[in-house]
Amino acid sequence: MNLRDNLIALYDFYMVAKEKSFSRAAEKNFIAQPNLSRRVQNLEKDLKLKLINSSNKGIELTLDGEKLFKQLDQLFSNFELFHEIDNNLIKGVITIGTTRNIADNKLEKYLSDFNKKYPDVKIKILIDSATNLNSYLMNHQIDILIDYLPHINYSEKLELEVKPIGEFQTCFACSKSLWNKNNQSIKTISDLSKFKLVIPGSSRRRQLLDEVLQKKGIELNPDIEMPDSKLMIDFVKNNDDYIGYFIKDEIQNSELCELSIPNLPVNSIGIIYAKNTINNITKKFVEMILNDSMEA
């Protein structure tokens, strides 16, 4: 192993030791975990030292590993401090594509945190259907996509990386008046067939619900389909004979009452980006979201 490779491998070891995890170190540095493990193993062979012991409980540094980590910590901590100072110099534009529902319920915190850390980066948000957004990403019209998973089999597209970052719990809800009269008689999804329903139209959230219904052999025929959750909330609130299908977070302050129906879909949210052409600003945004999702 030459000097250049040694420096890369030393930093890889440092990150693994700092994170106390191969998987977290790989994710934070956008490296495939097998490649990271191989580099550290090659470093051990080159130095003729055992640095890390791995077990089902995680990793543990050997005495030699502890000594090397302390030496590297002095070097790389200074570099990271300089790098943090340099963050203030980052300028440019990031274009983020997402759906209306995710933008309304998930995006604000990410944007606020990113703007505070990188105030000189301009942020553009593009809201469209999942199909159009995927096309924008493939044609480099957006830098990053935040979408329901799985929407398209991204794993077959080798140039794209997909990282789960959270999930939405779903529910059926109605006005307080309808809930008081009927909540005891609505215990399963099939019980909903007796009521008027308003459900999102063509969307990934609707598709996930339809998949659950199909497996159970249940057919719901909604009287109304709506594309916008805010419109649905207002409509159901003002029409006592309708039940709507929502994300739980949407109805917390809406005066609607959730019906206790089990086994409803959990909608996973993911961040998708071109891993081979990711620019520095986009990389910073991805790092921030992934860190937030690990801490949540």
The full DSSP string for 59-123 is: EEE-HHHHHHHHHHHHHHHHHHHHHHHHHTT--EEEEEEE-HHHIIIIIHHHHHHHHHH-TTEEE
Bridge-partner residues for 58, per DSSP?
Answer: 55
- Digitized pLDDT (tens) for each residue of the chain, 296 residues in all: 555 557 788 888 888 888 888 888 887 777 788 888 888 898 899 888 999 998 777 788 999 989 898 888 777 765 554 454 455 556 788 999 998 878 887 888 889 888 888 888 899 999 987 778 888 887 788 999 998 887 555 545 557 888 888 888 899 999 999 999 998 889 899 899 889 999 987 777 788 888 888 888 888 888 898 876 788 999 999 999 999 999 888 888 888 999 999 888 888 889 998 877 788 888 889 988 888 776 65
Could you give the CA distance from residue 212 to residue 106 in angstroms, rounded to a whole number? 24
Read off the pTM. Answer: 0.61
Q: Which residues contact 60 (CB under 8 A, 6 or more apart)?
A: 52, 53, 54
Separation CA 286–CA 132 (nearest Å): 21
